[in-house]
Amino acid sequence: MRTALLAGATGLVGGHLLARLLEDGTWDRVVSIGRREVDVRHDRLEQLVTQLPDVPALPAVDDAFCALGTTIKQAGSQDAFRAVDHDAVVALAAAGQQAGARSFLHVTAMGANARSRLFYNRVKGETERDVAALGIPTTVAFRPSIIDGDRAEARRGEQLSLSVMRVSAPVLGPFRPTRAEDIASAMVQQAKAAPAGTTVVSAREITKRAS
């Protein structure tokens, strides 16, 4: 039996991922970490409240999952965005490694590239690079397209884009929206397979695994 650590359980992908982890018999304990508790009660769920990127001492874990993510508009500045999408993710990976995690699986974005001229893509790429550099035996980055699902908070610009992209999905190929529940399912599948090394899972592959 294994213990899973999950950051971002109050978000869209994280909520689906929490449900998958609690449903799957692979993990006998799930530890959720974040700035607030999730509205879920389960005998296999433990919750740690902290202000990331500050990570307290963690219980022993086997697999760490990260679904943290914001937007520059929501964060308020590029620095605040980086604090969440880079600093908090890398801090969680390092803390998970110290707690014994043999795998770290996290959500980045299509186009992630540490050398990109686009700030968003560059931060995502730097996050992938810096997590991989920690040397966790299994590191997996999931690169979805725009994420499709019902969010608790309104993102008007994103919802407008999703509306257009849903209609155009048949011709968008790999750029079609990626469903949040498909990302969660792919992360659980990948964790159970536990391939060693650094792996990138594309939006196309995420959708393919769900079909």
Its pTM stands at 0.89
Topology of the domain comprising 2-210: Rossmann fold (3.40.50)
Contacts with 100 (C-beta within 8 Å, 6 or more apart), sequence order: 60, 61, 62
Q: Where are the beta strands (DSSP E) in 20-177?
A: 27-34, 45-49, 63-66, 103-107, 138-143, 147-148
Q: Exposed (0-12), middle (13-18) or buried (19+): which is 159, by Cβ within 10 Å?
A: exposed
Residue ranges for the chain with pLDDT beneath 70: 151-175, 211
Q: What are 62-112's pLDDT values in tens digits?
A: 999 999 999 899 999 999 999 999 999 999 999 999 999 999 999 999 999
Q: β-strand 27-34 against 103-107: which pairing, if any?
A: unpaired
What is each CA distance from 166 to 152, 155, 171, 201, in whole angstroms?
A: 20, 16, 10, 22
Q: Where are the domains of the chain?
A: 2-210
The pLDDT of residue 15 is: 96
